[in-house]
Structure 1
Amino acid sequence: MRHLTYCLLALLINSLPVASSLAQSDAIPADAQRVTRTVRPEAIRNHMRILANDSLRGRKPGTPGFDMAADYVTKQLKALGLKPAGENGTYRQDVPLRRWQVNEATSSLALVVNGREQPLVYGKQFIFSPSPDHATSNVTAPVVFVGYGVSAPELDYDDYTGIDVKGKIVAFVNGAPATFPSNQRAYYSSSKAENAAAHGAVGTLAFSLPSDLRNRIETAAPRARQGTYRWVDKMGKPQRTYPAIQGAASLSDSAARLLFANAGTSFKDVITNAQKNRPQAFPLNVSVRMQTQTNVVENVPGYNVVAMLPGSDPALKDEYIVYVAHMDHLGVGRPVKGDSIYNGAHDNASGVAIILETARLFTSLEKAPRRSILFVGVTGEEMGLLGSDYFASNPTVPKDKIVANLTLDMPFFFHALLDIVPYGAQHSSLDREVRQAAGFVGVQISPDPIPEQTVFMRSDHFSFVRQGIPALFIKSGSQTGNPNLDGTKLNLEWRATIYHSPQDDMNQPFDFKSAAKHVQLQFLTGYLTAQTDQRPVWNKGDFFGTKFGKTSE
């Protein structure tokens, strides 16, 4: 009987019109409520069909397919009456991108013990990351193991305590302690080169726990060989690099074990300590010679699309809420199941489509919100959040007037939308607006169900967090309304089998009613934020607010 009840409930939820699930809320003006109910699931589907069509060839920056996508987005925003907010009175902001690649034939890595070298095999035992700051680098130095390579004083954790790594190469385990809060775990997993450079290291060696199958050399090598992209400034200097690090390599499990052959602590004990989240640091009694040649492979003429709905309040119209979705994907690549076009339907034609429909809702209001709204389609997300980082670093409006960012990327609408995970909400006053929007739409708010995926660092909202701007990244939760359908399992299976493959196309079981709810959430959260007297603030003592922005008093 319980199973029958669940099934009937799920059927009822999915059969109701989108608007009928909305609860009334005194906090939301009648006009905004009216507009919210006009959302069109079929419009989201149509946008996605166009953006994920084979003719766009995977929308890789620098290709005609990306230009087609950007042109479509521009025309849609222009047709809504939104004003150009790019450079020189256009809808476009140029983003100069450059790609570097390691020359494997002239690059090598060897362990040095008692003057004897043991060369490792490129692509099997190690891979190098390109070094945009060093066309050629040759460094030989002792190796020091530094656990996870993390310094987190606010969490009473520091792998560098009591160890001097100046002029040395540091080896560390990928990831961060599982005891860290989800978003800080994501941050510290991704900031190790910066931390190593701050401690005076000249090189890094990264390896994974034996149980971590996501970062194996076998799977990482093909993508690493495609090179590294960065945006460059007007002087041609690459950004988000650490020149002090002269060589950076990832090691296979077997190569990592070789590092510990002469250490005072066994590899087995190292792994046990890491799994128990214990800081650890000690010399490995081995040196490493790293010789790397990095070549500039290409310059890519990247660009963002930027449009604006001017605000209606004389005092607040010069402040901005920024909506972002990345237009790019991976282009054409290795065939999988007979298909070589990486369409990126979910990643991220879905986010762009939802933002376009969100923009339509804003333009349907009888009166524009008090603050201005920017809609930005960015390039180079798949290359490392490059378009959003460029915009957040070089915005086409005054940076100090950007009060909040809402990013949408792979929101995951493969089942009924009953709960959401609003990444970033717990860090700022935006939590209030997202909760009001969620209550109106009728969805619950849940914690991160997959903290090991370090989602918080993996999309464009983080480019704004780095600039001290409160940001939100809303994704579907794991509730499905069906006791036989585990939402978290479905999410992980999709990531393991479809993510970044040619099978991410329109032949997937998308639930466009759920996609429509994402539009409503995006619209209402941004609208309510645009209407408040006070701009959003970081929570007092918040980690990200303290590190990058200003916390509330």
Structure 2
Amino acid sequence: MRFFPSLSCCVVLSLLSLRPSLAQSGSISAEAQTVAKTVRPEAIRAAMRFLSDDALEGRKPGTRGFALAANYMQTQLEALGLQPAGENNTYRQAVPLRRWQVREKASFLAFDSKDNEKILLYGKQFILNPNPDHANSDVTAPVIFVGYGVSAPELNYDDYAGIDVKGKIVAYVNGAPSTFPSNQRAFYSSAKAEIAAAHGAVGVLSFSLPTDLRNRIETAAPRARQGIYRWLDKRGKPQRTFPALKGSASLSDSAARLLFTNAGTSFSDAVSAALKNRSQSFPLNMSAHLHTQTDMVEDVAGQNVVAVLPGTDPVLKNEYIVYVAHLDHLGIGRPVKGDSIYNGAHDNASGVAINLETARLFASLPKAPRRSILFVGVTGEEMGLLGSDYFASNPTVPKEKIVANLCLDMPFFFHPLLDIVPYGAQHSSLGHETEVAAAFVGVQISPDPIPEQTVFMRSDHFSFVRQGIPALFIKSGSQTGNPNLDGTKLNLDWRATIYHSPQDDMNQPFDFNAAAKHVQLQFLIGYLTAQADSRPTWNKDDFFGTKFGPARVVK
């Protein structure tokens, strides 16, 4: 792609000159304005090119390629003058990871109805999830259908209302009601097992609506067979598991229909109710027998990279704004179009490169901000947000002193950046800083164009939300400036054809001027937050603030 750095600079300068009054009202100092103009699109491109090179072999945690990526990030931050903020006065934090896998030949799923037993075909009709808490797990129990498997009384929706599932296996549809707000829909789509365990279930069976082609067994089976990873606490116990659940399986469409053979409500009626967002629950008059043999496959020595730019205020320097981007990708895998290296240029060399340039802007300030700025390159995002969850749960700085998180992951700069979707901005006071920075840079703020993708739950910012820390995750919006180019369609097509494939390399039409705007947004939002007298707070009665951060909610 042909690149014009001088044009980028002129565009940025013209945008800045149009909004001086708004910049001043938002407390963007003259020094910060000057530094923001120095963003280097070519530096973003160069960092992405190195991190996604074949020599790094896809940056899978525990490999030589990931070590090279971590060394690169560390040396870049060290060269900027940032100080070590990891363990033992180093730039690293050890993250112990472990992988488990189902032993398929020793595992099975059967449906029992009266005197009839139907043993299902592994990989065709079902997939079992590994059970890190039980190497040899066996459970037989009646199955209760619980709609979407969601209990959200604050949204006047509860699939568990009026039914007792203690000691039962629950079956539910993937996803959440489309009437839910985007981020709540994302949360409840991903919290099914936790909700089931809280209601006393001993097993879960999940399946997709016939209209949902994203989670089919055929596409899910290859990756599911690679197993799952979890991080270990200091006692060696895996985290983010639910020991009360003795079995968990994903079903094909045909297997899901079999479940309803003896039910008082037909499969099609249950699907119709789900599509109409109606809560529902009823017995299926069927039992399921899940037997899962889980093997511990390997331990992986994961690492996070952690560096800090110390603040300058005598008191506020002890508070931290944390910038996060994941360093890892999928490594070497199944060949696609003759290529087996999953380079991860957009996912997420782009986020790391943008955060590195953001760090340079902070380091270029004549005087560092009042609060300290922490930059973290995390491991294991592709394994389930593991590196960020480990850091947020075991930070190398006092947890109560982390005031905000800004995460960047696949910001999507394949067209000019005219609007952004700032996931999380509507939940906390960070929304104000986002508005000021967006207006200054010259981009509009838009709603989530693809709520069905549950983006809010799918990157490292959510690890901080779980710890009650206000967080922000910015992606580009759908405006392209070209009436013949639909940004949402471009996004969805990329996810369908390039995402998590070897074709996510540097041979893509990246717009590095758009990437430079992402740097400015990251920098200015963090700068405004670092300079403010008060730390960010959750909005009053906010769902995530109430659920995870009651001590940080505006009264």
Query: 1:21 is matched with which residue?
Result: 15
Q: Equivalences for 1:511-530 in 2 at 5 Å? A: 511-530=511-530
1:292 corresponds to: 292
Contact 1:143 1:284 in 2 (8 A): yes
1:489 shift after superposition? 0.6
The answer (yes or no) to whether the contact 1:131–1:294 under 8 Å persists in 2 is yes
2:170, 2:454 → 1: CA distance?
23
The residue aligned with 2:217 is: 217
Secondary structure of 2:127's aligned partner: strand
What amino acid is the match of 2:483? P
* Offset, 1:315: 1.1
Deviation string 1:375-425 (CA, Å, 9 cap, x unpaired) is 000000000000000000000000000000000000000000000000000
What is the aligned partner in structure 2 of residue 80 from structure 1? 80
Whether the 8 Å CA contact 2:9–2:37 is kept in 1: the answer is: no
Distance in 1, matches of 2:394 and 2:357, equals 26
Match of 2:282? 282
| In structure 1, distance between residues paired with 2:500 and 2:371 | 36
In 1, Cα distance between equivalents of 2:258 and 2:319? 56
CA contact (8 A) 1:108 1:119 kept: yes
Q: Is the 8 A contact 2:323 2:374 kept in 1?
A: yes
1:380 aligns with 2:374: no
SS at structure 2 position matched to 1:482: coil
Deviation of the 1:251 alpha carbon: 0.2
With normalisation by structure 2, the TM-score equals 0.97
Q: After the TM superposition, which residues 225-240 of structure 1 pair with which residues of structure 2 at under 5 Å, given as runs?
A: 225-240=225-240
* Structure 1, unaligned runs of 5 or more: 1-11
Q: In structure 1, what residue type is equivalent to 2:210?
A: P
- Show CA shifts across 1:96-154 (max 9, x none): 00000000010000000113311000000000111100101111000000000000010
Match of 1:401 in 2: 401
Distance 1:14 1:43 in 2: 13
Deviations 1:429-482 (A, max 9, x none): 000001110011010000000000000000000000000000000000000111
Q: In structure 2, what is the Cα distance between the partners aligned to 1:434 and 1:306?
A: 25
Deviation string 1:216-237 (CA, Å, 9 cap, x unpaired) is: 0000000000000000011110
Matched with 2:481 is 481
Shift of 1:15: 9.0
| Partner Cα distance (1:305, 1:106) in 2 | 40
Q: What SS does structure 1 have at the residue aligned with 2:390?
A: helix
TM-score normalized by the length of structure 1:
0.97
Distance 2:85 2:278 in 1: 49
Number of the residue aligned with 1:46: 46
Distance 1:506 1:32 in 2: 31
**What is aligned with 1:206?**
206
* CA distance in structure 2 between the partners assigned to 1:466 and 1:175 by the alignment: 20
Q: Tell me, yes or no, if structure 1 residue 118 matches structure 2 residue 118.
A: yes
Mean Cα displacement is larger for which, 215-224 or 12-21?
A: 12-21
Does structure 2 conserve the Cα–Cα contact (< 8 Å) formed by 1:420 and 1:443? yes
The question of 1:322 aligning with 2:322 is answered yes
CA distance in 2, matches of 1:246, 1:283: 20
CA contact (8 A) 1:59 1:66 kept: yes
Q: Is the 8 A contact 2:320 2:373 kept in 1?
A: yes
Distance between the aligned counterparts of 1:497 and 1:388, measured in 2? 27
Alignment of 1:82-481 (within 5 A): 82-481=82-481
Which structure 2 segments of 5+ residues have no match? 1-5
Work out whether residues 419 and 443 of structure 1, in 8 Å CA contact, stay in contact via their aligned partners in 2: yes
* Secondary structure at 2:269 match in 1: helix
Q: Does 1:552 align with 2:554?
A: yes
Pairs aligned (count): 542
Relative to structure 1, the CA distance from residue 13 to residue 432 in structure 2 (aligned partners, 3 Å threshold; closer, same or farther) is: farther
Q: By how many angstroms is 1:16 displaced?
A: 4.2
Deviations 1:190-245 (A, max 9, x none): 00000000000000000000000000000000000000000001111000000000
Q: Deviation per CA, 1:264-320, whole angstroms, max 9, x where unpaired?
A: 000000000000000000000000000000000000000100000000000100000
Q: Distance in 1 between matches of 2:477 and 2:10?
A: 20
| Counterpart for residue 30 of structure 1 | 30
CA distance in 2, matches of 1:20, 1:47: 27
**Counterpart contact for 1:18–1:516, Cα < 8 Å:** no
What RMSD over aligned residues (CA atoms) do the two structures have, in Å?
A: 1.0
SS in 1 for 2:318: coil
Shift of 1:14: 7.0
What CA distance in whole angstroms lies between the structure 1 residues aligned with 2:147 and 2:116? 26
Q: Distance in 2 between matches of 1:21 and 1:383?
A: 40
CA contact (8 A) 1:14 1:416 kept: no
Name the SS of the counterpart of 1:88 in structure 2: helix
State the 1:21 CA deviation: 2.3
SS at match of 1:506: coil
**Within 2, Cα distance between the matches of 1:224 and 1:247?**
15
The one-letter amino acid paired with 2:115 is: G
Residue identity in the other structure for 2:463: S
Matched-pair identity in %? 78
In the alignment, residue 107 of structure 1 is paired with which amino acid? S
Report the Cα distance in structure 2 between the residues aligned to 1:393 and 1:528, rounded to whole angstroms.
26
Contact residue 327 and residue 348 of structure 2 kept, 8 A: yes
Deviations 1:496-535 (CA, angstroms, capped at 9, x unpaired)? 0000000000000000000000000000000000000000
Could you tell me how far apart the structure 1 residues matched to 2:63 and 2:9 are? 41
Structure 2: distance between partners of 1:459 and 1:221: 22
Q: Distance in 2 between matches of 1:112 and 1:480?
A: 54
Counterpart-to-counterpart distance in 1, 2:211 and 2:484 = 28
Q: Is the 8 A contact 1:18 1:513 kept in 2?
A: no
TM-superposed deviation, 1:20? 2.7
- Tell me the SS of whatever aligns to 2:132: coil
Q: Secondary structure at the match of 2:292?
A: strand
> Where does residue 3 of structure 2 map in the other structure?
none
Letter in 2 for 1:359: A
